[in-house]
Amino acid sequence: MGQLFLNLTEQGKNGAARWLGGTLNVLFFWFIIGSILSAPFLIISVWGLLTSGEFNGQLDRADPFWLYLATNVSFLGVWLGLWLTVRFIHQRAFRTLVTPAPKISWRRIAQGFFVWLALIALAQVVEFVIYPERAQFTFDPSKWILFLPFVLILTPIQTSAEELLFRGYWLQGTGRLTRNVIVLCVINGILFGLPHMLNPEVMANPNDTLVLFLNYFVTGAALALYTLRDNRLELALGAHASNNLFAALAVNYKDSALTTPALFTNSTLDAYFGFVMLMLVSVAFYLIVFRVLDRRADKSLNELY
Protein backbone atom coordinates (compact mmCIF):
# COMPACT_ATOMS: atom_id res chain seq x y z
CA MET A 1 0.00 0.00 0.00
CA GLY A 2 1.35 3.41 -0.98
CA GLN A 3 4.61 2.07 -2.44
CA LEU A 4 4.34 3.92 -5.76
CA PHE A 5 3.46 7.20 -4.06
CA LEU A 6 6.18 6.90 -1.42
CA ASN A 7 8.76 5.78 -3.98
CA LEU A 8 8.48 9.17 -5.68
CA THR A 9 11.07 10.41 -3.19
CA GLU A 10 13.63 8.31 -5.03
CA GLN A 11 13.54 10.93 -7.77
CA GLY A 12 15.82 13.94 -7.47
CA LYS A 13 17.98 14.56 -4.40
CA ASN A 14 16.67 13.45 -1.03
CA GLY A 15 19.33 13.41 1.66
CA ALA A 16 18.33 14.06 5.27
CA ALA A 17 19.81 17.58 5.15
CA ARG A 18 17.64 18.40 2.13
CA TRP A 19 14.47 17.23 3.91
CA LEU A 20 15.31 19.26 6.99
CA GLY A 21 16.17 22.29 4.89
CA GLY A 22 13.07 21.81 2.77
CA THR A 23 10.85 21.64 5.84
CA LEU A 24 12.41 24.78 7.32
CA ASN A 25 12.01 26.54 3.99
CA VAL A 26 8.30 25.66 3.78
CA LEU A 27 7.71 26.75 7.38
CA PHE A 28 9.49 30.05 6.67
CA PHE A 29 7.27 30.72 3.67
CA TRP A 30 4.16 29.61 5.57
CA PHE A 31 4.61 31.70 8.70
CA ILE A 32 6.83 34.59 7.59
CA ILE A 33 6.03 35.18 3.91
CA GLY A 34 2.41 34.12 4.48
CA SER A 35 2.10 36.64 7.30
CA ILE A 36 3.52 39.38 5.10
CA LEU A 37 1.00 38.52 2.37
CA SER A 38 -1.93 38.53 4.78
CA ALA A 39 -0.89 41.61 6.80
CA PRO A 40 -2.55 44.25 4.54
CA PHE A 41 -5.88 42.39 4.63
CA LEU A 42 -5.61 41.91 8.40
CA ILE A 43 -4.97 45.62 8.93
CA ILE A 44 -7.96 46.54 6.76
CA SER A 45 -10.15 44.10 8.73
CA VAL A 46 -9.50 46.00 11.98
CA TRP A 47 -8.91 49.48 10.55
CA GLY A 48 -12.24 50.84 11.75
CA LEU A 49 -11.54 49.58 15.27
CA LEU A 50 -8.02 51.01 15.18
CA THR A 51 -9.12 54.47 14.10
CA SER A 52 -11.88 54.56 16.72
CA GLY A 53 -9.57 53.31 19.47
CA GLU A 54 -11.80 50.29 20.09
CA PHE A 55 -9.36 47.57 19.03
CA ASN A 56 -8.51 45.40 22.04
CA GLY A 57 -6.15 42.98 20.32
CA GLN A 58 -8.92 40.47 19.64
CA LEU A 59 -10.25 39.69 16.15
CA ASP A 60 -13.82 38.82 17.17
CA ARG A 61 -15.07 42.23 15.94
CA ALA A 62 -12.89 42.40 12.81
CA ASP A 63 -14.52 42.70 9.40
CA PRO A 64 -15.20 39.03 8.47
CA PHE A 65 -14.65 39.54 4.73
CA TRP A 66 -11.16 41.00 5.06
CA LEU A 67 -10.33 38.60 7.87
CA TYR A 68 -11.26 35.69 5.61
CA LEU A 69 -8.97 37.06 2.90
CA ALA A 70 -6.14 37.54 5.41
CA THR A 71 -6.45 33.97 6.69
CA ASN A 72 -6.49 32.29 3.30
CA VAL A 73 -4.06 34.47 1.36
CA SER A 74 -1.33 33.35 3.75
CA PHE A 75 -1.50 29.85 2.22
CA LEU A 76 -0.04 31.21 -1.00
CA GLY A 77 3.18 31.24 1.03
CA VAL A 78 2.86 27.47 1.54
CA TRP A 79 2.39 26.93 -2.20
CA LEU A 80 5.44 29.04 -3.03
CA GLY A 81 7.59 27.46 -0.34
CA LEU A 82 6.67 23.94 -1.45
CA TRP A 83 7.29 24.69 -5.11
CA LEU A 84 10.72 26.16 -4.42
CA THR A 85 11.57 23.27 -2.09
CA VAL A 86 10.55 20.48 -4.47
CA ARG A 87 11.95 22.06 -7.62
CA PHE A 88 15.25 23.42 -6.32
CA ILE A 89 16.13 21.59 -3.09
CA HIS A 90 14.91 18.14 -4.16
CA GLN A 91 15.14 18.82 -7.89
CA ARG A 92 12.09 16.82 -8.91
CA ALA A 93 8.77 17.62 -10.56
CA PHE A 94 6.20 19.37 -8.38
CA ARG A 95 3.60 16.90 -9.69
CA THR A 96 5.36 14.14 -7.72
CA LEU A 97 3.75 15.50 -4.55
CA VAL A 98 0.44 14.36 -6.03
CA THR A 99 0.83 11.32 -8.24
CA PRO A 100 3.27 8.90 -9.88
CA ALA A 101 1.17 9.18 -13.06
CA PRO A 102 2.10 11.56 -15.89
CA LYS A 103 -1.01 13.67 -15.23
CA ILE A 104 -3.14 14.63 -12.26
CA SER A 105 -6.52 12.84 -12.28
CA TRP A 106 -9.28 15.45 -12.04
CA ARG A 107 -11.79 12.59 -12.11
CA ARG A 108 -10.32 11.21 -8.89
CA ILE A 109 -10.39 14.66 -7.30
CA ALA A 110 -14.07 14.96 -8.25
CA GLN A 111 -14.83 11.55 -6.73
CA GLY A 112 -13.20 12.55 -3.45
CA PHE A 113 -15.00 15.88 -3.52
CA PHE A 114 -18.54 14.64 -4.10
CA VAL A 115 -18.41 11.49 -1.95
CA TRP A 116 -17.09 13.46 1.04
CA LEU A 117 -19.56 16.29 0.39
CA ALA A 118 -22.52 13.91 0.37
CA LEU A 119 -21.39 12.25 3.60
CA ILE A 120 -20.74 15.44 5.59
CA ALA A 121 -24.00 16.95 4.36
CA LEU A 122 -25.82 13.84 5.58
CA ALA A 123 -23.99 14.03 8.91
CA GLN A 124 -25.07 17.65 9.30
CA VAL A 125 -28.68 16.79 8.53
CA VAL A 126 -28.54 14.06 11.19
CA GLU A 127 -27.27 16.55 13.77
CA PHE A 128 -29.98 19.09 12.97
CA VAL A 129 -32.65 16.38 13.16
CA ILE A 130 -31.40 15.23 16.57
CA TYR A 131 -30.70 18.77 17.81
CA PRO A 132 -33.00 21.08 15.81
CA GLU A 133 -32.37 23.99 18.20
CA ARG A 134 -28.78 24.20 16.94
CA ALA A 135 -29.78 25.13 13.39
CA GLN A 136 -29.87 28.86 12.79
CA PHE A 137 -30.81 30.15 9.34
CA THR A 138 -28.35 33.01 8.81
CA PHE A 139 -28.43 33.41 5.03
CA ASP A 140 -27.68 36.97 3.97
CA PRO A 141 -27.85 37.07 0.14
CA SER A 142 -25.72 40.19 -0.29
CA LYS A 143 -22.91 38.96 1.97
CA TRP A 144 -23.09 35.37 0.68
CA ILE A 145 -22.78 36.48 -2.95
CA LEU A 146 -19.91 38.83 -2.06
CA PHE A 147 -18.02 35.97 -0.43
CA LEU A 148 -18.86 33.33 -3.07
CA PRO A 149 -16.18 33.96 -5.74
CA PHE A 150 -13.45 34.44 -3.12
CA VAL A 151 -14.46 31.28 -1.26
CA LEU A 152 -14.50 29.24 -4.49
CA ILE A 153 -10.97 30.41 -5.32
CA LEU A 154 -9.22 30.82 -1.97
CA THR A 155 -10.62 27.86 -0.05
CA PRO A 156 -9.27 25.27 -2.55
CA ILE A 157 -5.94 27.11 -2.45
CA GLN A 158 -5.91 26.77 1.34
CA THR A 159 -6.97 23.10 1.42
CA SER A 160 -4.66 22.04 -1.42
CA ALA A 161 -1.74 23.81 0.29
CA GLU A 162 -2.38 21.75 3.42
CA GLU A 163 -2.75 18.53 1.42
CA LEU A 164 0.42 19.11 -0.60
CA LEU A 165 2.31 19.77 2.64
CA PHE A 166 0.85 17.19 5.04
CA ARG A 167 -0.23 14.32 2.76
CA GLY A 168 2.28 15.16 0.04
CA TYR A 169 5.64 16.42 1.24
CA TRP A 170 5.60 15.25 4.87
CA LEU A 171 3.88 11.91 4.22
CA GLN A 172 6.46 11.12 1.54
CA GLY A 173 9.22 12.34 3.84
CA THR A 174 8.22 10.13 6.76
CA GLY A 175 7.79 7.32 4.23
CA ARG A 176 11.58 7.37 3.88
CA LEU A 177 11.82 6.37 7.55
CA THR A 178 9.12 3.69 7.65
CA ARG A 179 6.67 1.99 5.32
CA ASN A 180 4.34 0.91 8.11
CA VAL A 181 0.94 2.32 7.10
CA ILE A 182 -0.39 2.63 10.65
CA VAL A 183 2.70 4.50 11.84
CA LEU A 184 2.59 6.82 8.83
CA CYS A 185 -1.10 7.61 9.38
CA VAL A 186 -0.60 8.24 13.10
CA ILE A 187 2.36 10.56 12.49
CA ASN A 188 0.47 12.42 9.79
CA GLY A 189 -2.60 12.77 11.98
CA ILE A 190 -0.50 14.26 14.79
CA LEU A 191 1.28 16.66 12.42
CA PHE A 192 -2.06 17.77 11.00
CA GLY A 193 -3.69 18.19 14.39
CA LEU A 194 -1.02 20.26 16.12
CA PRO A 195 -1.22 23.52 14.09
CA HIS A 196 -5.02 23.35 14.13
CA MET A 197 -4.93 23.68 17.91
CA LEU A 198 -4.46 27.41 17.31
CA ASN A 199 -7.81 27.67 15.50
CA PRO A 200 -10.39 30.03 17.07
CA GLU A 201 -12.88 27.24 17.73
CA VAL A 202 -10.28 25.38 19.80
CA MET A 203 -9.28 28.47 21.76
CA ALA A 204 -12.95 29.24 22.46
CA ASN A 205 -13.63 25.71 23.79
CA PRO A 206 -10.75 24.92 26.18
CA ASN A 207 -12.68 22.13 27.89
CA ASP A 208 -12.92 20.23 24.60
CA THR A 209 -9.32 20.66 23.49
CA LEU A 210 -8.47 16.95 23.53
CA VAL A 211 -11.58 15.89 21.62
CA LEU A 212 -11.10 18.67 19.08
CA PHE A 213 -7.51 17.51 18.61
CA LEU A 214 -8.82 13.99 18.01
CA ASN A 215 -11.15 15.38 15.34
CA TYR A 216 -8.22 16.90 13.47
CA PHE A 217 -6.07 13.84 14.13
CA VAL A 218 -8.66 11.48 12.62
CA THR A 219 -9.10 13.78 9.63
CA GLY A 220 -5.36 13.84 8.95
CA ALA A 221 -4.91 10.11 9.53
CA ALA A 222 -7.88 9.21 7.33
CA LEU A 223 -6.72 11.41 4.46
CA ALA A 224 -3.25 9.88 4.77
CA LEU A 225 -4.78 6.39 4.62
CA TYR A 226 -6.76 7.26 1.48
CA THR A 227 -3.60 8.65 -0.12
CA LEU A 228 -1.55 5.55 0.66
CA ARG A 229 -4.36 3.20 -0.36
CA ASP A 230 -4.83 5.01 -3.68
CA ASN A 231 -1.13 5.65 -4.30
CA ARG A 232 -1.96 9.27 -5.11
CA LEU A 233 -3.15 12.46 -3.43
CA GLU A 234 -6.22 13.35 -5.52
CA LEU A 235 -8.86 11.82 -3.22
CA ALA A 236 -7.55 13.80 -0.26
CA LEU A 237 -7.42 16.98 -2.34
CA GLY A 238 -11.07 16.60 -3.31
CA ALA A 239 -12.32 15.55 0.13
CA HIS A 240 -10.55 18.38 1.97
CA ALA A 241 -11.79 21.00 -0.51
CA SER A 242 -15.41 19.85 -0.21
CA ASN A 243 -15.20 19.78 3.59
CA ASN A 244 -14.08 23.40 3.87
CA LEU A 245 -16.30 24.69 1.07
CA PHE A 246 -19.31 23.11 2.80
CA ALA A 247 -18.34 24.82 6.05
CA ALA A 248 -17.77 28.16 4.35
CA LEU A 249 -20.92 28.26 2.22
CA ALA A 250 -23.49 25.85 3.68
CA VAL A 251 -23.15 25.29 7.43
CA ASN A 252 -20.66 27.22 9.50
CA TYR A 253 -20.47 27.35 13.28
CA LYS A 254 -19.76 29.86 15.98
CA ASP A 255 -16.08 30.76 16.53
CA SER A 256 -15.08 29.04 13.29
CA ALA A 257 -11.71 29.72 11.68
CA LEU A 258 -13.68 30.27 8.45
CA THR A 259 -15.31 33.68 8.94
CA THR A 260 -17.97 33.35 6.27
CA PRO A 261 -21.74 34.04 6.11
CA ALA A 262 -22.98 30.50 5.43
CA LEU A 263 -26.60 29.52 4.76
CA PHE A 264 -26.86 28.07 8.26
CA THR A 265 -24.91 28.55 11.46
CA ASN A 266 -24.59 25.74 13.96
CA SER A 267 -24.93 27.44 17.34
CA THR A 268 -23.11 24.62 19.15
CA LEU A 269 -19.69 23.16 18.46
CA ASP A 270 -20.31 19.63 19.77
CA ALA A 271 -16.84 18.10 19.69
CA TYR A 272 -18.04 14.68 20.87
CA PHE A 273 -20.90 14.38 18.39
CA GLY A 274 -18.61 15.70 15.67
CA PHE A 275 -15.99 13.08 16.51
CA VAL A 276 -18.49 10.21 16.23
CA MET A 277 -19.86 11.50 12.92
CA LEU A 278 -16.34 12.06 11.59
CA MET A 279 -15.42 8.45 12.34
CA LEU A 280 -18.53 7.23 10.54
CA VAL A 281 -17.92 9.54 7.57
CA SER A 282 -14.26 8.47 7.31
CA VAL A 283 -15.14 4.76 7.27
CA ALA A 284 -18.06 5.27 4.86
CA PHE A 285 -15.82 7.26 2.49
CA TYR A 286 -13.27 4.45 2.40
CA LEU A 287 -15.91 1.81 1.72
CA ILE A 288 -17.72 3.83 -0.96
CA VAL A 289 -14.59 4.77 -2.87
CA PHE A 290 -12.54 1.60 -2.62
CA ARG A 291 -15.23 -1.07 -2.27
CA VAL A 292 -18.01 0.37 -4.45
CA LEU A 293 -16.73 2.91 -6.98
CA ASP A 294 -13.44 1.16 -7.72
CA ARG A 295 -15.06 -2.27 -8.07
CA ARG A 296 -17.66 -0.85 -10.45
CA ALA A 297 -14.89 0.75 -12.48
CA ASP A 298 -12.96 -2.54 -12.61
CA LYS A 299 -16.10 -4.39 -13.65
CA SER A 300 -16.82 -1.91 -16.44
CA LEU A 301 -13.22 -2.18 -17.65
CA ASN A 302 -13.40 -5.98 -17.70
CA GLU A 303 -16.66 -5.91 -19.64
CA LEU A 304 -15.05 -3.57 -22.16
CA TYR A 305 -12.30 -6.04 -22.88
Residue 305 covered by a domain: no
What burial letters (b/e) apply to 272-299, b meaning 16+ CB within 10 Å?
Answer: ebbbebbeebbebbbebbeeeeeeeeee
Q: What mean pLDDT is predicted for residues 270-293?
A: 97
Residue 20 covered by a domain: yes
pLDDT, position 260: 87
Check: CB of residue 269 under 8 Å from CB of residue 74: no
pLDDT, position 304: 36
Residue 303 covered by a domain: no
Q: Give the C-alpha separation, 262 to 250, whole Å.
A: 5
Residue 301 covered by a domain: no
Residue 161 covered by a domain: yes
Residue 23 covered by a domain: yes
Q: Give the C-alpha separation, 134 to 47, whole Å.
A: 33
Helices (H), 175-270: 181-196, 200-203, 209-230, 234-249
pLDDT, position 257: 67
pLDDT, position 204: 84
57 vs 193, more confident = 193
- At 82, the amino acid letter reads L
pLDDT, position 254: 74
Residue 302 covered by a domain: no
Check: CB of residue 133 under 8 Å from CB of residue 58: no
Q: What is the pTM of this model?
A: 0.94
State which residues form the domain around 247.
Answer: 3-291
Contacts of 136 (CB under 8 A, 6+ apart): 264, 265, 266, 267
pLDDT in tens, 7-40: 999 999 999 999 999 999 999 999 999 999 999 9
pLDDT, position 95: 97
Q: What mean pLDDT is predicted for residues 159-187?
A: 97
pLDDT, position 256: 77
Would the pLDDT of 289 be above 50?
A: yes
pLDDT in tens, 69-128: 999 999 999 999 999 999 999 999 999 999 999 999 999 999 999 999 999 999 999 999
What is the DSSP secondary structure assignment for residue 169, as one 8-state letter? I
Work out the percent of the chain whose per-residue pLDDT is above 70: 95
Residue 279 covered by a domain: yes
Number of domain units in the chain: 1
What is the DSSP secondary structure assignment for residue 132, as one 8-state letter? G
